[in-house]
Structure 1
């Protein structure tokens, strides 16, 4: 675990998670609920937050919809399977747009983090985002939320170097948010 900022902060009032590569194993453009597999420890981490009364949400880019690889209905079915396996989420934010659509929701833009925060009745500064790539970190920063990167084999070295905090797994990421120290 490392962080580029050594400041102790109050614990977040909600945690937003990226979907693919963060709480479920990444299956590119997945439209098949039977392929959903939780990341190791994801259910325990989410249940731990829920047991503390901390709202949890998902912020996910799903450009496969814009690209015609999957339908919105297929993505919704996959998301329903994610909830079946990992428990209920307080808020879901999904960007169906492609890279060149110019929307405000696609990460690294702040749209989904801002919307999820508003729907939870929270200021984005009271929210944390956990994800596996730089776009997740960028969305959090652009919205004014905190962020922790949990790298996978697709995470670029530059994304790891520039992340505000890096954890080895989801449990370590959540522990960091509550401890506020590396």
Structure 2
């Protein structure tokens, strides 16, 4: 049987600030978007679920790398069905993998066939390659996100894309394959 992978954007797709602020500045200032946990639980029976998120606030100096790592760990606690999270805290040169009980692992941006770096920051698709390819080919992956850069990254990588609204409609998420 083929492994199927669901790549899910985090901010605005499955989590939001608890305080009502625009961005998560403190790792604990987050909560699941209403109704999404049920969708994620259901989808975890069909897919390996991996979070993928830009964290430009680190590069912009709004939060530290340690704070971004803690933020992802809290998200893993909120969503126990998510196996790991990849996040890009810079402008695309690398990304980090966060999983339960392990130290963060930094990956350099992958190289394209012509030797140029594929940006890890969405709309680049380097992070999606690093997160999905050890488990599945693009045809066995889907991505859910809320921003045009999520869609661009998925489509450039050859991954089928769905808007975040699918997670708020049980009739839609129950039929994802």
Give the TM-score taking structure 1 as reference length.
0.72
Whether 1:110 aligns to 2:125 is yes
Higher relative contact order (CA 8 A, sep 6+): 1
Q: How does 1:76-87 map to 2 (within 5 A)?
A: 76-87=69-80
Whether 1:132 aligns to 2:134 is no
Distance 1:53 1:128 in 2: 11
**RMSD of the TM alignment (CA)?**
2.7
Offset of residue 145 of structure 1: 0.4
Considering fraction of residues, name the structure with more helix.
Answer: 1
Provide closer, same or farther for how the CA distance between residues 96 and 103 of structure 1 changes in structure 2, counting only shifts above 3 A.
farther
Provide closer, same or farther for how the CA distance between residues 172 and 69 of structure 1 changes in structure 2, counting only shifts above 3 A.
farther
Show structure 1 runs of 5+ residues with no match: 1-10, 152-166
Aligned residue number for residue 30 of structure 1: 24
Offset of residue 89 of structure 1: 2.0
**Total equivalences in the alignment:** 151
Show structure 2 runs of 5+ residues with no match: 95-116
Give the TM-score taking structure 2 as reference length.
0.74
Considering fraction of residues, name the structure with more strand.
Answer: 2
